[in-house]
Homo-oligomer: A and B are copies of this chain.
Amino acid sequence: MPIKNSKIHTSVKIFKKNLVNIYGAKIGAKTKIGPFVEIQSNSEIGKNCKISSHSFICSGVKIEDNVFIGHNVTFINDRNPKSTNNKGELKKNDDWILEKTFIEEGVSIGSGSVIMCGIKIGRDATVGAGSLVLRSIPSKKIFFNKRNKNLK
């Protein structure tokens, strides 16, 4: 079973338990988790959330209650990822800096978005589908990238 070492409330619904990879995570009551989702250790998801299929919640992401994460949403925790360190060896745990990300209560993140680390998305903010979010977003703001306007 690809669900390990996690504190998952008994009311959480994981629709396809054999098609997720969840380890070391904390997930609150009534939250729903779609298929093809990975949730890493030291991440935290509140109650009444929806984590849609194909999304990736990495270590260091804290998601509060009532948050919608669309399909195919990708979080990040390393601003300068590399495979190897300066010695040419595979990076170890102390070869990189984890930057945390905070998603406050009631946020909605549209499908296909990529969320850079080290930022906060404020309460009830909305991120349009297909966005790349590089900076913090204030509460209640509706965020779009320029391409969301389909300018050509």
- A84: chain B residues at CB < 8 Å are 48, 66, 106
Given contacts A83-B48, A134-B148, contact A38 B54 (CB under 8 A): yes
For the side of the interface on A, what is the size category?
35 or more
Q: Name the contact of A108 in the complex, choosing from B30, B83, B132, B146 (C-beta under 8 A).
A: B83
Report which A residues bind B (CB closer than 8 A). Answer: 2, 15-16, 18-19, 21, 30, 32, 34-36, 38, 48-50, 53-54, 56, 58, 66-68, 70-72, 74, 76, 80-84, 88-90, 106, 108, 110-112, 114, 116, 126, 129-130, 132-135, 144-152
Q: List 18 A-B contacts (CB under 8 A).
A: A2-B16, A18-B18, A34-B38, A36-B38, A53-B56, A54-B56, A56-B111, A58-B71, A71-B76, A72-B114, A74-B112, A74-B129, A76-B129, A111-B114, A134-B149, A144-B152, A145-B147, A146-B152
Taking A72-B72, A76-B110, A83-B108 as known contacts, 6 extra A-B pairs with beta carbons closer than 8 A to each other, sorted by chain A number, are A53-B56, A70-B76, A80-B108, A114-B129, A134-B148, A144-B152
